Every structure is written in C-alpha cells, then in structure tokens.
Amino acid sequence: MPQTDYDLIIIGAGPAGSTTARFASTAGLRVLLVDKRQELGSPIQCSGAISGHGLEAAGIDANPEFIHEAIYGFAIYDEAGARTVHDYRQLKPDDYGSGPGKKPLGYVVDRRRFDRYLMTQAERAGTEVWLKTEGVGYQPQADGSCTVALRRYNQDITLSTRVLVGADGLQSQVGKWAGLQTHIKITELAGCLQFIVDGVETEGLLEIVTGHEWAPGGYAWVFPKGHGYAEIGLGVIATMTDKPAQWHLDKFMQQSFFRKRFANARILEVQGGGVPLAAPLRTQYADNMILVGDAARHVNPITGGGLHTAVAGGKIAADFLIGHLQDGLPLQEGALQAYQNVWLSELGDKMWKLYGIKTDIFHNMNIAQRDEQLYATMSDYFSPTSEFKKI
C-alpha cells in the first residue's frame, strides 16, 4: 500500500462519524473528519433521547455540556389516552433515580452540543477536523487506496486515504457515489415535525403516543427538554395520510386527550426530519468504503432511534478498521464485507429482527387491530423484560 494522506477520511461529523474518529485516532490511525456544516447538529433534526447504557458503551461521559434532562422511564399511550408506565425509579429503585448512588436511565441531549462535544473528544484524541467541508466524490485507485474529493470554503481539494467512511446521515450521498442501493421506501420513512415548547409539564419520562388517529404509520411523542421545556412531535407515513406532518401535529395538540395539557404551550423552536422505520442497508461497504450510522440506516425500525446505534456502530466500525488496517489487509473487491459481518453479529441481526416485528404490524390493514398491536409492542419494547433493551 502506497503512502496516503490519511488512513481514514470520514464524511460527516454526526454521532456516528465522530465516534468512529475518536476510537480510530486513539488507536493511532491518521484520521480526517469533515462536515459541511458551520455548526454541528444545527438545524436540529432529532429529539435527542439516548440511553445511559448507549453512552457508556461508546465511552461517552454523561456530560452536562450536552444534557437537557435526565430520563427515568417511559409512558406509552393508546389512542384514547390509556397508558402503560415503566418508571424505573419504581421498578428498580436501588439503581435508578436522582438521589446519591443512583443514576438516570437515559438522557435527552441537545444535538448541537452533543455533536460538538463528540467532535471535540475526537479532536482531543488526535483527529483532524474540517468544518465547512463537503465531500463530493471518491475514486478507488489501482494501487489499493482511494482518493476523496472535498470542497472546503469554495476550494476543491483531493486527498488520498486508505478507507473512506460515509457517516453522512440519512441524506447520505457517499453510498450513492459507490452505486449502493440506498433508496428508502416511502412507506418506511416517517416525515416528522416537532416543537420545543414552554408551558407543558413533564415527569422525567419519555412519552410515546400510538394510534392511527394521531400519527398514521408512526407515533407522537412528548419529551422533557430541561429548564421546564418540553418537546411535542410526531412522524407520519405519507402513504397512510394525505396530510403533512404539520397538519397532524396541530390536530394532536388541539384535539387529542392531551389538549388541556397543551393548551398553554408556547412554541420556542420548530424542527423536523425524516425517520426511517426501515431495515439496515443490505450492502454497507464498497471498495475502500464503509457506511456507518444513518447513512447505513443503522436505525431502530420500531422507535426510529438512531443515536445509540450511531455511536455503537461508530465503535464497531473503528474497532474493525483498526485491526484490518494494522494487519494490512486488502480494501477492495469485497474485502470490507468483513465489516458488515461484524456489525451484523454485534448489532444488525437484532435490528433485522425488530424490522420483522415492525413489518408484521404495519402489514395489518385493519386499523383498530394495528393500533392495538403497536401499543402492545411499544409497551413491551420499553419494559424491563424486553429482549431489545440494549438497542
């Protein structure tokens, strides 16, 4: 292998990219991490819920710099407002709580601060970071390396690297550069809208509202956001409604069983995004290239949560690449399939299983039955006995 400018060039400094960068740099790889944004995480396209376990497993401190509020459990509602509560302060009072020696179950983070924090940790580990730098293409070379084309403050730059890591999120272009099948079905991408609001009380729980009436194809949520703020949002599947998410969110706030609770809501921020309730990409690698995080659709198909899976996937990708590059193994002609195999056994197989459960629910055309199934599945999913607790 000829000398290259970097061992890894990572496109996208979201949670997946920065986590990959941090572990890779710590092990001594030469890493360049680029992001086209001027301020990471902004505009926010995320509700920011992540488990304490998810942070810990990826070696991330629960740092006040990025935490909005600690979370102690879940409340899942059916369409009419009946609820199942899993409050870990009551379920496991010795472990979870706000008192001394106890910990939260998870956190709601501020993505602007979270992403910046993770980038900083990568930089401190030795990663070189370039903001305002967009990845525009890549080209595997006959010598076994590849070149990556970047545009930085209007300047075109081409660099050589051993591996390109596509961590460029749901709108990923890197996979498309390599000709991978990245297209997501319209029946599996929820269009989401959320408001950060003042004047709505919360109780340290992530609240999930099911029911076709409020969020056809998806669900609605109310999350605590710290400082007495809350977030109200929902996602809908376009083929199940002829109205946009905005219309459904207005309806949810004005007509649902929560209308009194929301009566004094004052909107502080408006955010949105697409959430894939879909399977991981079948092929997440190409010559000199692997995908991680949303770009590989490493997203929980039931909850749409992708933060835990992004940082867990980042660690898996880095651990794999460290070994693979140190051993001087080939990087082309299918050699990087080994990455996907590791990912599948550590995380992916469970996600495929969740996808199966999710698909069964949404293939049921009887709305009342489907609502019932979704409520039961969500209620079970967040219970302490769930087999998927660690995703």
Partner 1 sequence: MSKQQPVLFSIGWNACINCGACVAICPQEAGFVSPFDTIAVDRPCDIACLLCESICPVDTITHVAVMQQVPQPALVVDPSRS
Ligand X SMILES: Cc1cc2nc3c(=O)[nH]c(=O)nc-3n(C[C@H](O)[C@H](O)[C@H](O)COP(=O)(O)OP(=O)(O)OC[C@H]3O[C@@H](n4cnc5c(N)ncnc54)[C@H](O)[C@@H]3O)c2cc1C
Nearest CB to ligand X, comparing residues 144 and 382 = 382
Number of residues that bind ligand X (CB under 6 A): 40
Q: Is 10 in the site for ligand X (CB under 6 A)?
A: no
The partner in contact with residue 79, picked from ligand X, partner 1, none with C-beta cut-offs of 5 to 8 angstroms by kind, is none
Q: Is 32 in the site for ligand X (CB under 6 A)?
A: no
Nearest CB to ligand X, comparing residues 29 and 170 = 170
Q: What separation in angstroms does the CA of 370 have from each of 79, 82, 185, 211, 367? A: 11, 16, 20, 9, 5
Give the footprint of partner 1 on this chain (CB under 8 A): 43, 45, 136-137, 169-171, 173, 176-177, 183-184, 186, 189, 191-193, 238-239, 244-247, 270-274, 276
Interface pattern 117-146 for ligand X (x via CB under 6 A): -----------------xx-----------
Query: According to CB under 6 A, which one of 192, 196, 237, 331 is a site residue for ligand X?
Result: 192
End-to-end CA distance of the chain: give it in Å, rounded.
37
Name the one residue in this structure whose structure tokens are 């880095």.
318
Nearest CB to ligand X, comparing residues 96 and 177 = 177
Nearest CB to ligand X, comparing residues 216 and 305 = 305
Show contacts with ligand X in window 155-174 (CB under 6 A).
167-170, 173
The partner in contact with residue 15, picked from ligand X, partner 1, none with C-beta cut-offs of 5 to 8 angstroms by kind, is ligand X
Pairing verdict, β 229-237 and 205-209: unpaired
What is the C-alpha separation between 199 and 284, in angstroms, rounded?
A: 44
Q: How far is the CB of 368 from partner 1 (least distance, A)?
A: 25
Query: According to CB under 6 A, which one of 48, 216, 217, 301 is a site residue for ligand X?
Result: 48
- Examine residue 43 and say whether the peptide bond preceding it is cis (omega within 30 degrees of 0): yes
Q: Is 46 in the site for ligand X (CB under 6 A)?
A: yes
The partner in contact with residue 50, picked from partner 1, ligand X, none with C-beta cut-offs of 5 to 8 angstroms by kind, is ligand X
Nearest CB to ligand X, comparing residues 140 and 306 = 306
The partner in contact with residue 46, picked from partner 1, ligand X, none with C-beta cut-offs of 5 to 8 angstroms by kind, is ligand X
Q: Where along the sequence are the contacts to ligand X (CB under 6 A)?
A: 11-17, 34-37, 40, 45-50, 134-135, 167-170, 173, 192, 194, 273-275, 293-295, 299, 304-308, 310
